[in-house]
Amino acid sequence: MTSPTVPRPPKRRRLLAGALVIAAGLAYGLLAMPAHAQSQTVNPKLLRIGYQKYGTLTLLKARGALEKRLAPQGIAVRWTEFPAGPQLLEGLNVGAIDFGTVGEAPPIFAQAAGAQLAYIGNEPPAPTAEAIVVPKGSTLKSVADLRGKRVALNKGSNVHYLLVKQLEKAGVAYSEIQPVYLPPADARAAFERGAVDAWVIWDPFLAAAEKQLGARVLIDGRDGHSNNVVSNHQFYLASRPYAQAQPEVVTAILDELAQLGQWAEKHPKDAATVLGKETGLDANVLELAVSRFSYGAKPVTPEVLAEQQRIADAFHTLKLIPRPIRVADAAWAPPSARPSTQQAQR
């Protein structure tokens, strides 16, 4: 069932998305990613970007600044929409796209499954932009009340770690809840009809649930006060073959995102208006969502990678990923930041 809050895309786009899903073997989560999927040829005259219908990449698409910047080099930009991060990274792995944006958990699941991706950049923490919500009138008052309850979430998405950490903080084992793995549209439908007791979701779906359904936030990414339990970074990633072949383009994307973030932070209502045209969501929904977003795209630091490593370790302990990973193996640095051959030999 499709969420009533987001207009269905044109038939041609739906067919394209369906073809990508079939080709990638999706089942609302990340499947094993064969290594040969990365043996792809990079087209130097085409940049294929995967995006979700929200956030800075959506603003970049709407404003067309990247196309203008790359046009003198004869590089065209093609955009493909994905419903969530895990599906987007499947597209990255099978060579359907070159660049995209996701939350914290999807790249960990993807790396554990063999995808050769590269962390290009990230936005600052946005812990209030994701939350565990319950229906209006629910008797659940705390995270501890989720014990034995049905909780909907998109497996392998950024909110997966939010749920893990908040359960841990409340003294509830992950095995004590009943996770129901659904993508956002189906999760909203299940939430509306009472098929699940709680829903773990991110903006703008979170804002839509609050404004349109009267959903109540049980807890967000904080501890109930002002301390962050999770950071909720938004990451920009590229396929490693593309990043290695086109480092100047990757750097240009991050630069355009940083400039756009400065504009959006100073003009939140204008940003909400642009996103409204792109998403079809109500202005009051987007204004709430935009107020919780964070802007300031920059290269990924060792500190942020260390946070990712903690998430990866937690997922491995819970057997949510099949093997331990070293997140730093997926780090990427532009050529200017890499040591020269002579320096490396010293």
User: Euclidean distance between the first and final Cα of the chain, in Å?
Assistant: 60
pLDDT value at residue 93? 92
For 342, phi then psi, to 5°, come to -65, -40
pLDDT digits (tens), the chain, 346 positions: 333 343 344 433 333 333 333 233 333 334 344 444 445 789 999 999 999 888 899 999 999 999 999 999 999 999 999 988 888 999 999 999 999 999 898 899 999 999 989 999 999 999 999 999 999 999 999 999 999 999 999 887 889 999 999 999 999 999 999 999 999 999 999 999 999 999 999 999 999 999 999 999 999 999 877 789 999 999 999 999 999 999 999 999 999 999 999 999 999 999 999 999 988 888 999 999 999 999 999 999 999 999 999 999 989 998 989 999 999 999 998 776 555 444 434 4
DSSP 3-state assignment of 79? strand
In angstroms, rounded to a whole number, what is the distance separating the alpha carbons of residues 286 and 279? Answer: 9
pLDDT value at residue 83? 84
- Alpha-carbon Rg for the chain, nearest whole angstrom, is 19
pLDDT value at residue 257? 96
Judge contact between 262 and 295, C-beta under 8 A.
Answer: yes
Tell me the pTM: 0.80
Half-sphere exposure of 132 (CA within 13 A, CB side): 32
Q: Give the per-residue SS3 of 255-307.
A: HHHHHHHHHHHHCHHHHHHHHHHHHCCCHHHHHHHHHHCCCCCECCCHHHHHH
pLDDT value at residue 6? 38
In 3D space, the residue among 239, 237, 234 whose CA is nearest the CA of residue 93 turns out to be 239
Helix (H) or strand (E) holding 105: helix 105-112
What domains, with CATH codes, occur in the chain? 11-125+233-337 (3.40.190.10), 127-220 (3.40.190.10)
pLDDT value at residue 226? 77
pLDDT value at residue 342? 44
What contacts 30, CB < 8 A, 6 or more positions away? 86, 89, 90, 106, 109, 110, 113, 155, 156
DSSP 3-state assignment of 122? strand
pLDDT value at residue 158? 82
DSSP 3-state assignment of 119? strand
For 140, phi then psi, to 5°, come to -70, 130
